[in-house]
Amino acid sequence: DAGVTQSPTHLIKTRGQHVTLRCSPISGHKSVSWYQQVLGQGPQFIFQYYEKEERGRGNFPDRFSARQFPNYSSELNVNALLLGDSALYLCASSLDRGQLYGYTFGSGTRLTVV
């Protein structure tokens, strides 16, 4: 079975641009969560989606949005990029909402904003 797949692995964007990050969960997993990990810090929760509905939102501005598709894959969108958005963006999937089963993480997308 493939693990959690994230694309792209790296990208460089300019301030003010828009970016879309993609995540494919493990087959059968219905929950996808997004985390932002700034260099040298622990990951910070951005969103959780379960069965295509938003189940949680972290303390991030409205420039951040996400959605989950019928096949349970997910996109994270960030508008009007700022230098401070430079980070590793991690996707995690779970069989349920995470209450009984653990989370499996992908290898992340490294976003650099210049």
Residues that bind another protein (CB under 8 A): 31, 33, 35, 40-45, 48, 50, 54-58, 88, 90, 92, 97-99, 102-108, 110
Least distance to another protein from the beta carbon of 79, Å? Answer: 23
3-state secondary structure 41-110: CCCEEEEEEECCEEEEECCCCCCEEEEECCCCCEEEEECCCCHHHCEEEEEEEECCCCCCCCCEECCCEE
Alpha-carbon distance values, 93 to 40, 49, 84 (Å): 23, 9, 25
- Closer residue to another protein in complex, CB, 57/63: 57
Bridge-partner residues for 75, per DSSP?
22, 67
- Closer residue to another protein in complex, CB, 14/42: 42
- Closer residue to another protein in complex, CB, 14/102: 102
Least distance to another protein from the beta carbon of 98, Å? Answer: 4
- Closer residue to another protein in complex, CB, 7/17: 7
